[in-house]
Structure 1
Amino acid sequence: MIRLTTSDLDIAYEDRLIVQNLNIAIPQGKITALVGANGSGKSTILKTMARIMNPAKGNVLLDGKSIHKQSTKEVAKQLAILPQNPTAPDGLTVSELVSYGRFPYQKGFGSMKKEDREIVKWAVEATGMGDFADRPVDHLSGGQRQRAWIAMALAQETDILFLDEPTTFLDMAHQLEVLHLLKKLNEANNRTIVMVVHDLNHAARYAHHMIAIKSGVVKGEGTPLEVITPEIMREVFNIEADIVPDPRTGLPLCLPFALAAQPLADRVMGNDGNEQDRREEWTAAGA
C-alpha cells in the first residue's frame, strides 16, 4: 500500500534547482532510508515531503491530496518530523517536551486533556524514557535526548515519521540505541518511517526500502540488496566497494576500498583475485 508519493517534484533554493522531476513512492508500514553523498539533496527532499519546504513545481501527495494545500494542523495529525540536531529550551523536562506533540489536537491555547496526558505518558514509556520523565532535556546524554525527541514525535500519533539523520553526532552505542528503537516502533506500531541515513550499513540493516540520490536524481531504489551494489556505490558515492553479506543477517555490507577514479589495475583484490566470483558466491549463498 502506498499513501505518500511525489509527483514531478522540483525543489529549489532561490534560483538554484536542487531536485528536478522527482517521482518516488514511500511504502506504507516500512522503513525507508534516503542515502547519498553530502549535498546530494536527500535532506532537502525529506524536508519538502514533510512540508517544511515548498516545492518549486509538482506535488507531495498524501492519500492523493497535496500536503502543501492542507492546513498545518491536519498535516501534523498525519506526519511528524524530527529535524537534524533539534534543541529544546533550557530547563524543559522530557514530559514537557513530549507534550508539545499534542499541539495539533488542541484548540487555541487550551490545556491538555486526560487523553493527551495519557498519550504523553505512553510515548515516554514507549521510548524507554520513563525514568527520565521529569529530568531536563539538556541534562540527558545524546542518545537519551534523541529518544526524548522521538517520543515527542510519537505523541503526535501520526502514521508517518520523518527523521533527518537521527544518529548524527552520536557514538556507536547511542546510534544502535536509536536505530533499535525505530525498528521496534515500526514493527510494534506499523509506523511508516522515512529517514536520511549517513551510514550505508546502518541503512542496509534497518531499512526495508532504500532510495539512493545523486544531485537530486534517484539513481537506485528498492531493497538493500537492490541498492547496495558496486555499480550504485560507484555512481552515487564515487567509490569502489566490495559488497559482502553481513554474517548475522545476510544483508549487504559495503566495504569501500578506493575512489572510483582510481585505475582498475590498482584495485586490491581478494586472495582469489576475482571480484566477480566473490559476488556470485555470495548470491548463491542466498544473501
Structure 2
Amino acid sequence: MIRLTTSGLNIAYEERLIVEDLNIAIPQGKITALVGANGSGKSTILKTMARIMSPAAGAVMLDGKSIHKQSTREVAKQLAILPQNPTAPDGLTVSELVSYGRFPYQKGFGSLSKDDRAIIKWAVDATRMTEFSDRPIDQLSGGQRQRAWIAMALAQQTDILFLDEPTTFLDMAHQLEVLELLQELNLTANRTIVMVVHDLNHASRYAHHMIAIKKGKVAGEGSPVEVMTPDILREVFSIEADILVDPRSGVPLCLPYALAGSNAPLPQKKQADESVPMRAAVSV
C-alpha cells in the first residue's frame, strides 16, 4: 500500500535547483532509508516531504492530497518529524518535551486532557524513558535525548515518522539503541518510518526499502539487496566496495576498499605478529 508519494518534485534554494523531477513512493508500514553522499539532497528531500520546506514545483501527496495545501495542524496529525540535532530549552523535562507532541490536538491555549496525559505516558513508556520522565533533557545522554525526542514525535500519534540522521554524533551503543527502538516501533505499532541514514550498513540492516540519491535524483531504489550493489555504490558514493552477506540477518553489508577510479595500490593483507598474544593484539 502506498500513501505517501512525490510527483515531479523540484526543490530549490533561491535560484539553485537541488532536486529535479523527483518521483518516489514510500511503502506503508515499512522502514525506508534515504542514503547518499553529503550534499546529495537527501535531507532536503526529507524536509520537503515533511512539509518543513516548500517545493519549487511538483507536489508531495499524502492519501491523494498535496500536504503543502493542507493546514499545519492537519498535517501534524498525520506525520511527525525529528530534525537533525534538535534542541530544547534549558531545564525542560522529558515529560514536558513529550507533551509538545499533543499540540496539534489542543484547542487554543487549553490544558492537557486526560487522554493527552495517557498518550504522553504511553509515548514515554514505549521509548523506555519512564525513569527519566522528570529529568531535564540537558542532563541526559545522547541516546536518551534521542529517545525523548522520538517519544515527543510518538505523542503526535501519526502513522508516519520522519527522522533526519537520528544517530548523528552518537556512539555505537547509542546508535544501536535508537535504531532498535525504531525497528520495534515499526514492528509493534506499524509506524511508517522514513529516515536519512549516514551508515550504509545500518540502512541495510534496519530498512526494508532504500532510496539512493545522487545530486537530487534517484540512482537506485528497492530492497537493500537491490540497492547495495557495487555499481550503485560506485555511482552514488564514488567508491569501490565488496558486498558481503551478514551471517546473522542475511542482509548485504558494504566493505569499501578504494575510491572509484583510484590508481592507488590496494592495502596489503596484514599478518598477525605471532610473537604478540592475540588477546593483547585486539584489546582496546
- Please give the TM-score of this superposition, normalised by the length of structure 1: 0.92
Q: C-alpha separation between the residues in 2 aligned to 1:23 and 1:222?
A: 14
**One-letter amino acid of the counterpart of residue 32, structure 1:** T
Partner residue in 1 for 2:151: 151
Cα offsets for 1:9-42 (capped at 9, x unmatched): 0000000000000000000000000000000000
- Matching residue of 1:245: 245
Which digits, 9 at most, give the CA deviation of each residue in 1:224-268, with x for residues without a partner?
0000000000000000000000111110000000000214x9556
Matched, 1:224 2:221: no
**Equivalent pairs: percent with the same residue?**
81
Question: Where does residue 81 of structure 1 map in the other structure?
Answer: 81
- What corresponds to 2:95 in structure 1? 95
Whole-Å separation in 2 of the counterparts to 1:137 and 1:258: 41
Q: Does 1:31 align with 2:57?
A: no
Q: Distance in 2 between matches of 1:191 and 1:27?
A: 11
Matched, 1:62 2:91: no
Unaligned ranges ≥5, structure 1 = 271-287
Secondary structure of the residue aligned to 2:38 is: coil
- Please give the alpha-carbon distance, in whole angstroms, between the structure 1 residues aligned to 2:26 and 2:236: 20
Aligned length: 269
Return the letter of the residue paired with 1:89. P
Asked if 1:132 is matched to 2:132, the reply is yes
Say what the alpha-carbon RMSD is for the aligned residues: 1.2
What residue in structure 1 maps to residue 168 of structure 2? 168
Deviation at 1:74, TM superposition (A): 0.2
Partner SS, residue 80 of structure 1:
strand
Q: CA deviation at 1:153?
A: 0.1
Rounded to whole Å, the distance in 1 between the matches of 2:189 and 2:123 is 12
Q: Counterpart in 1 of 2:187?
A: 187
Amino acid at match of 1:42: K
> Counterparts in 2 of 1:191-230, with a 5 A limit?
191-230=191-230
Partner of 1:257: 257
Change (3 A) 1:269 1:233: farther
Matched residues in 1 for 2:127 and 2:29: separation?
A: 19
Shift of 1:191: 0.4
